[in-house]
Amino acid sequence: MDIEIASINSISEVNMDYTLSMYFRQYWTDERLAYDMKLGNVSLDGRLAEKIWVPDTYFANDKNSFVHDVTVKNRMLRFHFDGSIAYGMRITTVASCMMDLRHYPMDTQTCTLEIESYGYTVDDVDYYWAHDLESIEGIEKVSQEMAQFTLANYKTTKRIQSFSTGRKTQTLTLALVLRRRLEFFILQTYVPCILLVCLSWVSFFLWSDDPSGRVYLGITTVLTMTTISTSLRADLPRISYIKAIDIYVITCFGFVFAALIEYAIANFIFWSGQKRKAKEAKIQTDANAAHQNAAAAIHNATGPARKYRDNTYEKLQYNQKLLCAFRSLRTKSMRQMKVFQWTI
């Protein structure tokens, strides 16, 4: 058999599938349908396929398939004089494609199309590709038309599939290696995140006494990063492991959030320093007032006061007390001397 690929589209990460439109052709020989070679090759209506034996081919990883029927069912049936038959159909199939999104969006996915017989065994029907890799046509054209992926490579394989019933059948596999394009994510995710991080740094150049501007800028960038992260998760399945783009978005979110927290910390430190300075100034003012009051009291009580370098008056007050005691003693001594003189 061989396949001509018409298009590959609707590659869904959420549903883990892709849509493939193709011209699917099968070839086999039925000696019962041999005829005179003078008649040459004969092409008949595809509806005649219901009257002859055809392989019970199906797609093992198919979710939904249909044969196009505009304006009639797109089937082709061609006979050769030796009993060889070519049977072609135009089919669109939705096939499952299990993806590993750990490196998303810089990932490479391998989607397969598995073809086998539903009821016949390897002893009844032998499946094989007509011309190996050349059995697949239209690859170059499809690769250029794909929007989100590029078709990096493809390969065809053949293996024997065993079932629990003991039946063995031939399985043909077409593997398509799809590499994701980054242009969309650069414009929609990477560049906006970089600009948001740079925008959050603008708050570093605003005055610390302008809380409304800095808080508004910080909250806006945080909410925008949250919106970008939410839109990314909406296009992806709920998987348990971390993707590459998650690490990038979380890192950018961390920078934006840190810029907002930085203002809160800087504002707290600034105003704490201001309060501490105001408290120290008040204590100093109170101390100066107390010293002035003490100096005034000493001056009123004992006369002029002397101010020392340590702004204290205790030593001066002590000296004043000694002076008062000395004056008292001198006065008493003089009185005693006068009494002594009068006695003599």
User: Distance between CA atoms of 233 and 62, rounded to whole angstroms?
Assistant: 26
User: Distance between CA atoms of 76 and 161, rounded to whole angstroms?
Assistant: 29
User: Distance between CA atoms of 87 and 75, rounded to whole angstroms?
Assistant: 7
Residue 36 predicted with pLDDT over 80: yes
Residue 108 predicted with pLDDT over 70: yes
Q: What is the pLDDT of residue 231?
A: 85
pLDDT digits (tens, 9 = 90+) for 281-292: 888 787 777 767
User: Distance between CA atoms of 18 and 205, rounded to whole angstroms?
Assistant: 50
Does 255 or 164 have the greater pLDDT score?
255
Q: Tell me what percent of the residues of the chain surpass a pLDDT of 90.
A: 33
Q: Kindly state the average pLDDT of the residues 29-35.
A: 89
**Beta-bridge partners for 2:** 25
pLDDT digits (tens, 9 = 90+) for 195-212: 999 988 888 887 766 677
Q: What is the pLDDT of residue 281?
A: 82
Confidence of residue 338 (pLDDT cuts 50, 70, 90): very low
Is the pTM above the cut of 0.85? no
Q: What is the pLDDT of residue 122?
A: 87
Cβ atoms within 10 Å of 270's Cβ, excluding its own: 12
> Any idea which residue has 């504002």 for tokens?
267
Q: What is the pLDDT of residue 92?
A: 95
Which residues make Cβ contacts (< 8 Å) with residue 38, sequence separation at least 6? none
Type of residue found at 15: N
pLDDT digits (tens, 9 = 90+) for 165-197: 777 888 999 999 999 999 889 998 999 999 999
Cβ atoms within 10 Å of 330's Cβ, excluding its own: 10
Residue 20 predicted with pLDDT over 50: yes
Does 239 or 94 have the greater pLDDT score?
94
pLDDT digits (tens, 9 = 90+) for 8-18: 988 998 899 99
* HEC profile of 7-27: EEEEEECCCCEEEEEEEEEEE
The DSSP output letter for 37 is G
Q: With beta carbons less than 8 A apart as the criterion, state whether 168 and 156 touch.
A: no
Candidate from 137-141, 208-212, 272-276, 283-287 with smallest mean pLDDT: 208-212
pLDDT digits (tens, 9 = 90+) for 45-88: 888 888 899 999 999 999 999 999 888 889 999 999 888 999 99
Going from the C-alpha of 313 to that of each of 69, 141, 281, the distances in angstroms are 113, 102, 22
User: Distance between CA atoms of 30 and 298, rounded to whole angstroms?
Assistant: 133
